[in-house]
Amino acid sequence: MRLFLPALIALFLLACNSNQQNADEARRPEQQTGLKTKVVKYFSNGDTLIGYLAYDAGKTGKRPGILVVHEWWGHNAYARKRAEMLAKLGYTALAVDMYGNGKTADHPDDANKFAMAVFQHFETGKARFLAAKKLLKAHPTVDSTKIAAIGYCFGGGVVLNMARLGVDLDGVVSFHGSLAAVKPAEKGKVKAAMLVCNGADDKFVTQEQIEAFKKEMDAAGVDYKFINYPGTLHSFTNPEADTFAKKFGLPLAYNKAADEQSWAEMQIFFKRIFGN
């Protein structure tokens, strides 16, 4: 037994070192980026809203703030993932809650019901958006003069309509978002530049809607860019789109190339509007 004891001790120490090394490896990405995340509560007209804040604590100085508006499924892990991705680019991001109490949908019927409620009572939706914007602007890492918003699906429609209504934003980016106007843009009222990333084969966005959107933006003198990605369906940025398509029989599909290209376009857009 005495002969084997040193070998056993050596194996134990080796295992401990290996475990410590694995733990160090697991922490390393966060240590390198200084990524900080926090669930935050904020309020609008008596409604409790649950957001998710992400920023790089290793970055010095103030930086632009980005609001992230979720898909029609609600404020879920996907919206939070995008906030974290923005934080890693050097922004402070807040994934917002447009439904209240962090409510999410598990079925398209409920998702549609929640989304339609926001658009049918858009003043309530606007108030919730502005409450999130106020919270983001007040964060100590944020340059309150540089605020933008991005949105996916339902969220894309939300940010485009916030811009139409003249909300003070530097820019908005819509990823496979709806194009319909709650109230059409008026000349001289829209402060935000727009980037619209659309799937050319999106069954939820017709060619007539695209033409009407461009006509509306041109008439209002809006600074906008519209990109159609060929062979691309709705929800092309979300890797879970294929699962949803199969489960619910929806015309959705993830498209890696369009996802990466649209994210790169967003970064170019932000550099232009923020001047950095």
pLDDT level of residue 33 (50, 70, 90 thresholds) = low
Q: What would the two tokens of residue 87 be?
A: 């934080």
pLDDT digits (tens, 9 = 90+) for 192-241: 999 999 999 999 999 999 999 999 999 999 999 999 999 999 999 999 99
pLDDT band at 31 (very low <50, low <70, confident <90, very high): very low
> How far, CA to CA in Å, does 238 sit from each of 107, 114, 174, 178?
16, 20, 14, 16
> Using one digit for the tens of pLDDT, what is the confidence trace for 36-53?
999 999 999 999 999 999
Is residue 72 within 8 A of residue 115, CB to CB? The reply is yes
CA distance 197 to 60: 31
39 and 23 within one domain = no
- Over range 243-262, report the average pLDDT: 97
Name residues whose C-beta falls within 8 Å of residue 187's C-beta, 6 or more positions apart in sequence: 219, 220, 221
Q: What's the CATH number where 256 sits?
A: 3.40.50.1820
Assess whether 123 and 58 both reside in one domain. Answer: yes
Q: Is the pLDDT of residue 63 over 80?
A: yes
Same domain, 96 and 124: yes
- pLDDT tens figures, 69-89: 999 999 999 999 999 999 999
Percentage of the chain modeled with pLDDT above 90: 88
* 257 and 142 co-located in one domain: yes
pLDDT above 60 for 22: no
Same domain, 135 and 18: no
How many domains does the chain divide into?
2
Residues 229 and 263 in one domain: yes
Output the pLDDT for position 29.
Answer: 42
Write down the pTM of the prediction: 0.88
Do 20 and 65 fall within a single domain? no
On average, the pLDDT of the chain sits at 90
**Domain region containing 101:** 35-274
Q: Are residues 137 and 260 in the same domain?
A: yes
pLDDT score for 19: 41
pLDDT value of position 87: 98
Alpha carbon of 194 to those of 27, 96, 150, 166, 225: distances in Å? Answer: 37, 19, 10, 12, 6
Question: How far, in Å, CA of 210 to CA of 233, rounded?
Answer: 15
Radius of gyration for the alpha carbons in the chain, expressed in angstroms and rounded:
22
What confidence score (pLDDT) does residue 117 get? Answer: 96
Whether 155 and 77 share a structural domain: yes
pLDDT at residue number 256: 98
DSSP class per residue in 174-232: EES-----SS---TTT--SEEEEEEETT-TTS-HHHHHHHHHHHHHHT--EEEEEETT-
Q: Is the pLDDT of residue 23 over 80?
A: no
**Residues 17 and 102 reside in one and the same domain:** no
pLDDT at 233: 98
pLDDT at 134 over 90: yes
One domain for residues 69 and 177: yes
57 lies in the same domain as 194: yes
Give the model's pLDDT for residue 90. 96
How are strands ordered across the β-sheet holding 224-229? 35-44, 47-56, 92-95, 63-69, 142-152, 171-175, 193-199, 224-229
pLDDT digits (tens, 9 = 90+) for 89-126: 999 999 999 999 999 999 999 999 999 999 999 999 99
Q: How many CB atoms lie within 10 A of CB 112?
A: 13
